[in-house]
């Protein structure tokens, strides 16, 4: 089985954590001949060399000034051209990088390299020369014929090299080596443009201190207020013609225009036809796995720029401005598309998401029964920080944050959560945030509307 793994070096010099999981998953496939593929400056060669010690026989680095400044479409194009020279039965990518955090390159690559895609893979259940069968994050069992492309969740820790392990070979290929069209590479080939970045203050809130006894009333009032505010939110300021795929992105569409049409997410060919004939200014998709995969595939097939995971939209004349967090949420970027219609996925939450999420952080690890009882009492569901997942207290499916899910419930009750930026980016669109933490200086209070300085255990009194 010829397995290729796309890997990227993070800003910290280490392998992107999702790619690390994809590499480990590849190494565990019996009889896999693993090749690594990366794009970046020449310095990335040493990084790849180190990674070959874990089992890949060969690594290919795409390095050329022509590749610099590539967005997801231009990156997927370059990788697809390289794959023409790397025979591959199975291509594994991490679900997303931490730098770009778009999750688009894999799905776009599936179109350009003609590979059957399965996204958000938690586990490969079987892999034969004909097909691969996987369990996904939404607990689906999906099968794809080979050659296939999988985007892998952060489900495995990458092994360490042994003292006896040897380094493999790293080949460096230029744009000419892969016969890439310079007009489709790097900045020149990137339809999306970042027009402005600024420090992200968006999650910050003014926190009012309350006592544990006030919590039930605050939750009830917040749930009622959020329901009303969400139904009143539609402010119109342009005449842009906007298509939404499904109804989930409608609040975003109506925040910039009243000229909105809804398409259904059924069939890729039908959707392509509708988008081609609609003469729209923008097309918006939701952020569930199926919508994200479809958005990336449609963008790749139409050669359009796609902005991932927008948290707000605005209009500037007849152009759509797409606003999204960048660099692990520390920055907010304003993005325009050079191609029309502009395409974006917007952060939406599934209709199945409860109005109240009760998130447990490491500080609540000894009071989980209290957290569960609170969720039950207010008809909420549970969420977790990464540390709770890493320490084995809660399953990965419940993790909120940069390397977990993005949520936006009406009320987010964070118990024993410190408020690291990696967690905040996943919950900052929640309606009302309530934090419970005994440390009055915990950063979570900067992102909360209501704060209770208390331990999780002290909330038990509310339940008696
Ligand atoms: C690349 C990268 C990606 C990451 N992705 C994510 C992600 O997706 N999601 C995520 O959550 N994190 C993520 N992290 C980790 C993140 O940086 C933090 O380490 C993590 O969010 C902290 O989890 P925590 O708040 O549960 O634990 P801690 O930071 O240990 O905080 C525990 C808190 O509990 C409080 N406490 C102590 N005792 C009690 C008590 N009895 N009752 C109540 N509170 C108490 C403490 O005051 C403290 O504030 C990522 C990190 C990196 C480097």
List, for residues 239-280, the tens digit of each pLDDT value: 899 999 999 899 899 889 989 999 988 889 999 999 999 999
The response to whether residue 388 sits with its C-beta less than 6 Å from ligand 1 reads yes
Ligand 1 centroid distance, CA of 249 (Å)? 30
Residue nearest to atom 45 of ligand 1 (CA): 363
Residue nearest atom 29 of ligand 1, based on CA coordinates = 418
Mean pLDDT of all residues in the chain? 91
Does residue 364's CB lie within 6 angstroms of at least one atom of ligand 1? yes
Residues paired with residue 222 on neighbouring β-strands, in sequence order: none
Domains 2-190 and 208-229+351-463 equal at CATH topology level: yes
> Looking at ligand 1, which atom is closest to the CA of residue 456?
42
Question: What superfamily does domain 2-190 belong to in CATH?
Answer: HUPs (3.40.50.620)
| 414 touches ligand 1 (CB under 6 Å) | no
How much distance in Å is there from the Cα of 381 to the middle of ligand 1?
A: 19
Spatial separation of the C-alpha atoms in residues 412 and 405, rounded to whole Å? 14
Q: Average pLDDT across each block of 10 residues of the chain; the chain has 464 residues. List them in order.
A: 96 92 96 96 96 96 96 95 98 83 88 96 95 93 97 93 88 98 94 81 84 92 76 64 93 90 90 94 92 94 93 87 78 89 84 79 96 91 96 92 86 97 89 95 96 95 79
Q: What is the 388 CA–ligand 1 centroid distance (Å)?
A: 8
| Residue having the nearest C-alpha atom to atom 18 of ligand 1 | 420
361 Cβ inside 6 Å of ligand 1: yes
Q: Which residues of 186-215 are buried (b: 16+ CB within 10 A; e: fewer)?
A: beebbbbeeeeeeebebbebebeebebeeb
Q: Is 423 in the pocket of ligand 1 (CB under 6 A)?
A: yes
What atom in ligand 1 is closest to the CA of residue 442?
A: 49
CB of 214 shorter than 6 A to ligand 1: no
pTM: 0.73
Note the pLDDT of residue 35. Answer: 98
CATH of domain 208-229+351-463: 3.40.50.1220
What's the pLDDT at 238? 79
At residue 152's C-alpha, the angle toward residues 148 and 157, to 5°, is 130
Structural fold of domain 233-346:
Rossmann fold (3.40.50)
Q: Is 455 in the pocket of ligand 1 (CB under 6 A)?
A: yes
For residue 423, the CA-to-ligand 1 centroid distance in Å is 8
Instruction: Map out the domains of the chain as residue ranges.
Output: 2-190, 208-229+351-463, 233-346
Q: Which atom of ligand 1 is nearest to the CA of 387?
A: 23
442 lines ligand 1 (CB under 6 A): yes
Structure tokens at 463: 């339940």
403: Cβ below 6 Å to ligand 1?
A: yes
Q: Residue 147: is the preceding peptide bond cis (ω within 30°)?
A: yes
> What per-residue confidence (pLDDT) applies to 447?
95
């Amino acid at each position: 089985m010829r397995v290729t793994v796309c890997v990227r070096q993070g800003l910290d010099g280490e392998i992107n954590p999702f790619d690390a999981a994809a590499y480990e998953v590849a190494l565990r496939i019996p009889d896999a001949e693993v090749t690594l593929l990366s794009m970046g400056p020449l310095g990335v060669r040493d990084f790849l060399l180190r990674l070959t010690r874990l089992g890949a026989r060969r690594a290919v680095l795409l390095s050329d000034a022509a590749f610099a400044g590539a967005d997801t479409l231009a990156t997927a194009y370059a990788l697809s051209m390289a794959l023409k020279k790397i025979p591959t039965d199975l291509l594994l990518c991490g679900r997303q990088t931490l730098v770009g955090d778009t999750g688009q390159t894999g799905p776009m690559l599936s179109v350009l390299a003609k590979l059957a895609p399965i996204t958000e893979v938690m586990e490969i259940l079987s892999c034969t020369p004909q097909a691969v069968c996987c369990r996904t994050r939404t607990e689906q069992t999906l099968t794809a014929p080979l050659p296939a492309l999988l985007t892998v969740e952060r489900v495995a820790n990458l092994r360490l090299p042994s003292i006896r392990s040897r380094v493999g070979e790293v080949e460096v290929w230029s744009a000419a080596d892969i016969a890439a069209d310079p007009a489709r590479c790097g900045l020149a080939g990137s339809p999306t443009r970042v027009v402005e970045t600024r420090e992200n203050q968006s999650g910050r809130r003014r926190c009012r201190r309350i006592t544990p006894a006030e919590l039930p009333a605050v939750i009830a009032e917040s749930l009622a207020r959020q329901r009303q505010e969400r139904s009143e939110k539609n402010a119109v300021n342009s005449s842009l013609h906007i298509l939404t795929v499904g109804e989930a992105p409608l609040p975003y569409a109506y925040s910039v225009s009243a000229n909105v049409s809804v398409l259904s997410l059924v069939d890729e060919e039908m959707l392509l036809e509708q988008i081609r004939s609609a003469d729209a200014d923008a097309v918006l998709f939701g952020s569930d796995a199926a919508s994200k995969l479809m958005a990336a595939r449609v963008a790749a097939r139409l050669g359009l720029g796609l902005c991932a995971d927008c948290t707000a939209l605005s209009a500037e004349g007849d152009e759509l401005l797409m606003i999204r967090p960048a660099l692990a949420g520390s920055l907010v970027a304003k993005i325009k598309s050079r191609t029309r219609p502009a395409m974006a996925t917007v952060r939406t939450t599934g209709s199945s998401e409860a109005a109240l999420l009760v998130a447990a952080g490491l500080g609540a690890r000894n009071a989980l029964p209290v957290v569960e009882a609170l969720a039950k009492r207010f008809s909420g569901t549970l969420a977790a920080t990464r540390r709770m997942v890493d320490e084995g207290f809660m399953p990965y499916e419940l993790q909120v944050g940069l390397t977990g899910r993005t949520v936006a419930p009406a009320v987010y009750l964070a118990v024993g959560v410190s408020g690291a930026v990696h967690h905040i980016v996943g919950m900052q669109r929640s309606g009302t945030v309530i934090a419970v933490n005994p440390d009055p200086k915990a950063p979570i209070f900067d992102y909360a509307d209501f704060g209770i300085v208390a331990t999780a255990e002290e909330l038990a009194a509310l339940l008696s």
